[in-house]
Amino acid sequence: MSREASIATATEYFDSGRFTQDLARRVAIPTESQNSQRLDALHAYLHDEMIPAFQEMGFTTEIIYHDNLDLPFLYAERIEGEGLLTVLGYGHGDVIRGLDDEWADGLSPWEMKEKNGFLYGRGTVDNKGQHQINMAGLRAALETRGKLGFNAKYLIEMGEERGSPGLREICHKYKEKLQADLLIASDGPRLNMERPTIFLGSRGGVTFDLSIDARKGGHHSGNWGGALSNPAVQLAHAVASLVGENGQIRLPELVPESLPQAVRNALKDCKIDGGTDGPEVDPDWGEPGLTTEERVFGWCSLEVLAMEAGNPRTPVNAIPPRAWARLQLRFVVGIDPHNVVPAVRKHLQRQGLSMVKVELSKEEIFAATRLDPEDPWVTWALNSLEKTTGKKPALLPNLGGSLPNDSFSDILGMRTIWVPHSYPGCSQHAPNEHMPLSIAREALGMMAGLYWDLGEPTAGKA
């Protein structure tokens, strides 16, 4: 009975091929939550895969729903003793649309294949493969010790790719049931393929539309040019007044007052690297005076996701009657997402652009969260991963993307530590999604070591 034995049990699960077999079976269940025809698949994933896996580890299980939603949640728990440390795990079994026709030759979203050191299939990294790794690490620690040494709870949702509808309500309704000292979960990418990573929250996300409806139809640009306002020109000025030519946000309400020193310290030895297939970083893009890593993990970014005026496919000589753009603010702690649209609206009015209509999109708003990088549990988790891998983990104060972490940090009031098992070039949400075999094997050992350490009397002590 030892930590090393627990890690060996987890890596043997990989070396024997059982990890790949289990993941292939789970990837084959087309759990597209954005597809209303896949409701049976969402339930099958929980009933056929997750419930048996948790029950084999001595967990009790329960399917729960939020009012008027057909998306199921699985709650599982193993309570070993009153007064013990309690740890909540989280994952999501739904996936983004498969985009079947867009995958490379010989690849399919629903038939996992190994190729050149990668496992290809929808959900391999987002998020089936990641919570499978964590469950396997949990099982390895349990089998080696004969008990966990702590109380374990787990929540698997089936609607994260739809913005996690019902998750916050579930956390409010079942707050006592879900209560724990700490969240340990996995999603998103590492800083790079080689370096184990911990992040402590996520940037928030709010998406809004700018639009101008000037008149009912287009008018000849020769006959009317100079006499009629052009919505496309006006919209371009509206966007330019919000974000500069180098990506700097020009509206003070959309950025924090400052970058905390603890965040700067955490990011000093971090370097963004998308791998050989990743894009090349534009070093002069974004907030001046910050490093690239500080801009992504410590600051806000305002992106134009789409713009349209006239007919882009077949332009004609006419002044367009309408222009539209969708913008997205990725924001850090300190920004009130509910103030974004009012602030943008007031700003455009001051700029003489009151003809621009500003409306929230139908996308879910994700709040920004961040555990203090100097929290003792953070140091403890970093030490655990380094002990297992011999590598110094990267510490990201928050993920650059958005996750429903506020459900756990704000509603349930717990510390949140995320250990991602992917990398930036994994094609998450795109065709050809894949997990590197090297990350999968290393991550299994890391999580077995981490769960072993949670059962020790020194857990949480730096």
Q: Report the CATH number that the domain containing residue 356 is assigned in CATH.
A: 3.30.70.360
Whether residue 285 lies inside any domain: the answer is no
> Does 406 share its domain with 327?
no
Question: Number of folded domains in the chain?
Answer: 2
Domain that holds residue 62: 3-202+368-454
Whether residue 241 lies inside any domain: the answer is yes
Query: Structure tokens of 232?
Result: 């496309």
> Does 28 share its domain with 111?
yes
> Does 192 share its domain with 209?
no
Whether residue 191 lies inside any domain: the answer is yes
Whether residue 228 lies inside any domain: the answer is yes
Task: Provide the CATH number for the domain around residue 117.
Answer: 3.40.630.10
> Does 378 share its domain with 312?
no
Q: Which residues pair with 322 in a beta bridge?
A: 213
> Does 113 share its domain with 170?
yes
> Does 354 share its domain with 308?
yes
What is the pLDDT averaged over residues 13-38? 97
Q: Report the DSSP pairing between strands 182-185 and 415-418.
A: parallel
pTM exceeds cut of 0.85: yes
Q: Can you list the positions of beta strands (E) in 340-386?
A: 357-360, 369-370
Whether residue 95 lies inside any domain: the answer is yes
What confidence tens digit (pLDDT) does each residue in 352-389 have?
Answer: 999 999 999 987 788 999 999 999 999 999 999 999 99
Measured between alpha carbons, how far is 195 from 62 in angstroms, rounded to an integer? 36
Whether residue 275 lies inside any domain: the answer is no
Query: Structure tokens of 95?
Result: 């996936």
What lies within 8 Å, CB to CB, of 181 at 6+ separation is: 85, 86, 87, 414, 415, 460
> Does 406 share its domain with 347?
no
> Does 125 share its domain with 248?
no
Q: Which residues pair with 360 in a beta bridge?
A: 208
> Does 237 share its domain with 160?
no
Whether residue 390 lies inside any domain: the answer is yes
| pLDDT confidence of residue 462 | 66
Which among 395, 396, 416 has a CA at the least distance from the CA of 404? 416
What confidence tens digit (pLDDT) does each residue in 218-238 have?
Answer: 999 999 999 999 999 999 999
Whether residue 293 lies inside any domain: the answer is no
| pLDDT confidence of residue 460 | 83
pLDDT band at 402 (very low <50, low <70, confident <90, very high): confident
